[in-house]
Chain A
Amino acid sequence: MPDELRTIQVTVNGTKYDRQVRCRKLLSDFIREDLRLVGTHVGCEHGICGACTVLFNGQTIRSCLMFAVQADGAEITTVEGLARGGQLHPLQEAFWENHGVQCGYCTPGFLLTALELLQRNPNPTEEEVRIGIAGNICRCTGYQHIIESVLAAAAKMGAKTV
């Protein structure tokens, strides 16, 4: 049963994929190994670090805590889907401008978490950002530059939508 193959259909970053997967394959492994979208990282495989965060039907999930077969029919956005036509997403720009990245391993997870946070709350306070990203671990930055990046992105994105 865990090794049984199933066919699933998923849309990732706008591209439709039909793939056969083993039932026990984690969604994170499917994204990385089967789709070769290696921007989604794995830091703990037990749901704490948030490095594997992707948007699943518009909501953040930890792809290490789901099986690929559970994604049948879902729409997924990974970090590779953020920039459009060579143009960085304002969040990515803000991280670049505010030194929100050091080793970059946590970054994809933070970007997608922050994206959801800003969709919910386009104008967060610093404290709200801290709480909003507290489900993700970064070992490099001490979080300060990430927080500044998210606040800067909020300003940018707010400015863009008006």
Chain B
Amino acid sequence: MSKTWIGKNVKRHEDPRLLTGRGTFVDDITLPNLYHAAILRSPHAHANILAIDASEALKYPGVVEVVTGEDVVQKTRPFSVVVKTPFKYYCAAVKKVRYVGEPVAVVVATDRYVAEDAAALVRVDYEPLPPVVDPEAALEPGAPILHEEVGNNISCHRLLDYGEVDRAFAEADLVLKERFVFPRYSSVPLETYAVIADYDSSSGVLTVWSNFMGPFTLHPVTAMALNIPENKLRFIIAKDIGGSFGIKSSIYPYIALIGLAAMKASRPVKWIEDRQEHLMASSSQTDRVSYREVAMRKDGTLLAIKTKIIDGVGAYLRAPEPATTFRPIGNYVGPYKVKNLRVDAYDMMTNKCPTGPNRGYGCHQIYFEQERMMDMAAEKLGLDPAEIRLRNFIPADAFPYVTPSGGIYDSGDYPKALKLALEMSQYEKLREEQKKARKEGRLFGIGIAVGVDPSVSNMGYITVAMPAEVRSQPEYLPKSGAVEAATVRMDPLGGVTVLMNSTPQGQGHETVVAQIIADELGVSPDDVVVVDDFDTSESPWSVSSGTYSSRFASVGTSAVVIAARKIKEKMFQIAAHTLKVSPQDLELGQGKIFVRQDPKRNISLKRVAGTAHWDLLRLPEGMEPGLEARGVFHFPMADAPDSKDRVNSSNTYGFMAEVAAVEVDRDSGQVKILKYISVHDAGTIINPKIVEGQIYGGALHGVAGALFEELVYDQEGQFLTGSFMDYLVPTAAEAPKLEIGHVCSPSPFTPLGSKGAGESSSETAPVLIANAVADALAPLGVKVTELPLTPKRVWALIHDSSSTEVGR
């Protein structure tokens, strides 16, 4: 295959429709006789529901139905989740509310305005209960309990132990221990959740249009909750999704709720979440408190890591949680060759919104602890932060590398990437500048952060949330694998159509697929039509379908390659038969298949396609007519966790090395990013602009978490950041200008060598900025262990620092 199109900045095929207002987002879809829902939500963080009276609402003109917890408990089941902790999570509150914003009733009416009016008329009598909002407090004896049937607030606890941690700590020259706090922030796509549900009582099929993004493991979960056979729950995903970054995985409880409303109302029902609902009650990452200890040798060698993490998963543990805790299990040690690791993990239920995937899922939290600790150790040992990292990197010749927790890193050259980042940042010069700045009394800091970027989640990793003894029981069904499918079709005139089912949310899949096909089949990308319309009743989907865990560039593209190669092989057989040569003698190029030794003997692709469709008697004997192939790619090393809890939680592993310089304003506490260098190894890059765009977006998402964004609750569990005036999404005025560099270590495990890049910098940016700010504040002798570094927090750090300034 010649790489004519792979690696080029092909303009996106999606753009003309999106630029002219012709995209199709869920809210753009309408149905005949469509009704609209408004959701009444809990104003309390924790309360018993004594009574609900919907009679006034039902009398309101235009209202057709009200759904309450009574319907929910009668018609649906609690959602299943990997752990067996006996709490019940339904699609709306049943007898008790456990977070502000929890759905209590759904009003269905002729339009949204009427539905909202009527929702205000539903009377709910609550008996408030004391809430618990802090994950650490939830663990304390005597804490208010959310689910009486559980008896405490622990939804999941695992102690994972790899290597010889105690011995390593006993032998260490230096042991550091620190407490870290990582806040709740979220994906905040510009398009909110959107659902249209339509129940056909004659067939028993519930059809749902939504902006769900996968994983489709959550389709059977939803079907079971609704008591519907899986093949009668039809998910149609809108062609265009207005961003997701993880959060639209967690829409499925609303799919169930609106599905229930449509069934009860016997009418199609649309629900478009508003921004306040989204911030308050969709999903977010966990809030985490962690205690990390590291054992080091004098020379900076990292010997062992111990961490106790306490994740706040909100009022109910909702699948795919507790994956925030376990998704990065295979890459827990990051890029370092440390062999000993202990993770003591608690997933605590608190009176806050349930959590779920958010870009970087679980990685930015661990890299925050890890990369902060590396800097703290470097300072103690008198090493440069770059040097301590270089000393601990897994060497370039060690790949594929197996981590102590079972990750199989496919490829990489970490020293090369970090050195490139240092060079691009003119690191030495930056340090000189810093010296000068410090002399002038300015707070100038330089940060470094590195991280391994896992892509394509293994469908089995989450079972590590269950103890090995449980997993080894014969009745326990193991899970494994990570798969994607694609169908390539050539029509009788030689046009190529590719059918995908990847639920993209802005990542340009149509374009990337066209580029791959163009190279594989020797056509132009503009001639390839890519249809990515996901429909569970029509698409070849699997439980791992969807666009999450940065999987498309690894697994989706691989499925396309396989399908294309199947078609190509068939075309070669037809051409060989026609030209009376062996397929091995043939080559593809310029729309023709020709004899390598004698290119004048050739046949056009069009003619081959014509033969396959219209001249079936001229096909080689026994060949199936038509030109269509399904490519299925799956990773063979995505196995279930072993008896020692080791699991290859992802399938390809990229890398990023970043350097930033900041200046902190002493008077206001404001942080200004002066420089941001971001070097990536995402293997083979198919469309550089698209990858760049992912990096820019991911980096800003991480910067936002470092400096601006937090979903804040008060001690009563009241939610304080329900609008864009309180939840501060950065704009172009705050966005740093990145300089991006690449190194390329193609993955040996994918046909093109490509890896994911969609999350990448979102995992390192929070700690990158934290490290830079910590370095800026180093003369004040203060510690940075908590985000976001808002002016208020930074100001307090500066002004509470009792120590006298020391030079560096």
Give B184-202 as 1s and 0s: 1 = Cβ < 8 Å from A's Cβ atoms: 0001111110000000000
The reply on A22 being an interface residue by CB < 8 A is: yes
- Whether A142 contacts B700 by the Cβ 8 Å rule is yes
Interface positions, chain B 85-116, Cβ under 8 Å from A, are 113
- Whether B20 contacts A82 by the Cβ 8 Å rule is yes
Look across to chain B and name the residue whose beta carbon is closest to the beta carbon of A146. Answer: B732
- Whether B21 contacts A39 by the Cβ 8 Å rule is yes
A133 to B697, CA, bound (A): 16
- Whether B735 contacts A95 by the Cβ 8 Å rule is no
Max chain B CB contacts within 10 Å: which of A46, A51, A95?
A46
- Whether A95 contacts B15 by the Cβ 8 Å rule is yes
* Min distance, Cβ A146 to any Cβ of chain B, angstroms: 7
- Whether A103 contacts B113 by the Cβ 8 Å rule is no
- Whether A104 contacts B242 by the Cβ 8 Å rule is yes
A88 to B20, CA, bound (A): 8
- Whether B725 contacts A101 by the Cβ 8 Å rule is no
The reply on A159 being an interface residue by CB < 8 A is: no
Residues on A with C-beta less than 8 A from B18 are 101, 103-104, 107
Give which listed residue, B506, B723, B735, contacts A143 with CB less than 8 A: B735
- B296-304, B528-536, B686-694 - interface stretch: B686-694
Interface positions, chain A 75-92, Cβ under 8 Å from B, are 78-80, 82-83, 88, 92
The reply on A49 being an interface residue by CB < 8 A is: yes
Q: A46-B723, A105-B191 are in contact. Are A96 and B16 (CB under 8 A)?
A: yes
* Min distance, Cβ B256 to any Cβ of chain A, angstroms: 24
* Min distance, Cβ B578 to any Cβ of chain A, angstroms: 41
- Whether B724 contacts A145 by the Cβ 8 Å rule is no
Residues on B with C-beta less than 8 A from A48 are 723-725
- Whether B693 contacts A140 by the Cβ 8 Å rule is yes
The reply on B245 being an interface residue by CB < 8 A is: yes
The reply on B505 being an interface residue by CB < 8 A is: yes
- Whether B724 contacts A143 by the Cβ 8 Å rule is no
- Whether B693 contacts A145 by the Cβ 8 Å rule is yes
The reply on A129 being an interface residue by CB < 8 A is: yes
The reply on A66 being an interface residue by CB < 8 A is: no
The reply on B22 being an interface residue by CB < 8 A is: yes
A1 to B500, CA, bound (A): 50
A59 to B565, CA, bound (A): 53
- Whether A103 contacts B735 by the Cβ 8 Å rule is no
Give which listed residue, A103, A144, A147, contacts B191 with CB less than 8 A: A103
Give B558-571 as 1s and 0s: 1 = Cβ < 8 Å from A's Cβ atoms: 00000000000000
Look across to chain A and name the residue whose beta carbon is closest to the beta carbon of B702. Answer: A142
The reply on B25 being an interface residue by CB < 8 A is: yes
Residues on A with C-beta less than 8 A from B462 are none
* Min distance, Cβ B706 to any Cβ of chain A, angstroms: 14
Residues on B with C-beta less than 8 A from A45 are 274-275
- Whether A97 contacts B11 by the Cβ 8 Å rule is yes
Residues on A with C-beta less than 8 A from B240 are 103-105
Residues on A with C-beta less than 8 A from B25 are 38, 41, 105
Q: A37-B21, A97-B11 are in contact. Are A46 and B733 (CB under 8 A)?
A: no
A129 to B25, CA, bound (A): 28
* Min distance, Cβ B189 to any Cβ of chain A, angstroms: 6
The reply on B507 being an interface residue by CB < 8 A is: yes
Residues on B with C-beta less than 8 A from A74 are none
- Whether A92 contacts B190 by the Cβ 8 Å rule is no
- Whether A134 contacts B725 by the Cβ 8 Å rule is no
- Whether A49 contacts B21 by the Cβ 8 Å rule is no
Q: A96-B12, A137-B190 are in contact. Are A103 and B20 (CB under 8 A)?
A: no
A131 to B737, CA, bound (A): 14
Look across to chain A and name the residue whose beta carbon is closest to the beta carbon of B737. Answer: A144
Residues on B with C-beta less than 8 A from A99 are 9, 12, 689-690, 692-693
Residues on B with C-beta less than 8 A from A106 are 190, 242
Interface positions, chain A 17-75, Cβ under 8 Å from B, are 22, 24-25, 32, 37-46, 48-49, 51
Residues on A with C-beta less than 8 A from B508 are 102
- Whether A44 contacts B275 by the Cβ 8 Å rule is yes
- Whether B191 contacts A143 by the Cβ 8 Å rule is no
Max chain B CB contacts within 10 Å: which of A79, A82, A139?
A139
Residues on A with C-beta less than 8 A from B14 are 101, 104
Residues on B with C-beta less than 8 A from A49 are 190, 275, 724
Give which listed residue, B11, B27, B731, contacts A96 with CB less than 8 A: B11
Residues on B with C-beta less than 8 A from A147 are 732
* Min distance, Cβ B482 to any Cβ of chain A, angstroms: 24
A141 to B15, CA, bound (A): 14
A130 to B245, CA, bound (A): 24
Interface positions, chain B 705-724, Cβ under 8 Å from A, are 723-724
Q: A99-B690, A103-B189, A105-B191 are in contact. Are A140 and B697 (CB under 8 A)?
A: yes
A111 to B189, CA, bound (A): 19
Q: A96-B15, A99-B693, A142-B699 are in contact. Are A38 and B21 (CB under 8 A)?
A: yes
- Whether B22 contacts A39 by the Cβ 8 Å rule is yes
Look across to chain B and name the residue whose beta carbon is closest to the beta carbon of A78. Answer: B21
A80 to B239, CA, bound (A): 19
A40 to B9, CA, bound (A): 28
Residues on A with C-beta less than 8 A from B27 are 32, 38, 42
The reply on A151 being an interface residue by CB < 8 A is: no
Give A119-138 as 1s and 0s: 1 = Cβ < 8 Å from B's Cβ atoms: 00000000001110111111
A46 to B9, CA, bound (A): 37
The reply on B241 being an interface residue by CB < 8 A is: yes
A44 to B698, CA, bound (A): 21
- Whether B19 contacts A96 by the Cβ 8 Å rule is yes
A96 to B11, CA, bound (A): 7
The reply on B28 being an interface residue by CB < 8 A is: yes
- Whether B700 contacts A143 by the Cβ 8 Å rule is yes
Residues on A with C-beta less than 8 A from B12 are 96, 99, 101
The reply on B620 being an interface residue by CB < 8 A is: no
- Whether A142 contacts B724 by the Cβ 8 Å rule is no
Residues on B with C-beta less than 8 A from A146 are 732
- Whether A139 contacts B275 by the Cβ 8 Å rule is no
- Whether B190 contacts A143 by the Cβ 8 Å rule is no
Look across to chain A and name the residue whose beta carbon is closest to the beta carbon of B9. Answer: A99
A105 to B241, CA, bound (A): 8
Give B664-701 as 1s and 0s: 1 = Cβ < 8 Å from A's Cβ atoms: 00000000000000000000000001101101111111
Give B1-29 as 1s and 0s: 1 = Cβ < 8 Å from A's Cβ atoms: 00000000101101111111111010110
Q: A38-B28, A103-B240 are in contact. Are A140 and B692 (CB under 8 A)?
A: no
The reply on B729 being an interface residue by CB < 8 A is: yes
Give B764-775 as 1s and 0s: 1 = Cβ < 8 Å from A's Cβ atoms: 000000000000
Q: A46-B723, A46-B724, A92-B20 are in contact. Are A144 and B188 (CB under 8 A)?
A: no
Residues on A with C-beta less than 8 A from B737 are 144
Residues on A with C-beta less than 8 A from B732 are 129-131, 133-134, 136, 143, 146-147
The reply on B243 being an interface residue by CB < 8 A is: yes
Max chain A CB contacts within 10 Å: which of B21, B693, B724?
B21
Which positions in B face A, CB cutoff 8 Å?
9, 11-12, 14-23, 25, 27-28, 113, 187-192, 240-243, 245, 274-275, 505-508, 689-690, 692-693, 695-701, 723-725, 729, 731-733, 735, 737-738
Identify 17 new A-B residue pairs, CB closer than 8 A, beyond the known A32-B28, A82-B20, A145-B693: A39-B20, A41-B190, A99-B689, A99-B692, A104-B15, A104-B506, A106-B242, A130-B733, A133-B731, A133-B732, A136-B731, A137-B724, A139-B187, A142-B693, A142-B699, A142-B701, A142-B738
7 interchain residue pairs of minimum CB distance: A39-B21, A103-B506, A104-B18, A105-B242, A142-B696, A48-B724, A102-B506
9 A-B interface contacts by CB (under 8 A)? A38-B21, A39-B20, A39-B23, A46-B725, A80-B21, A101-B12, A134-B732, A137-B190, A142-B701
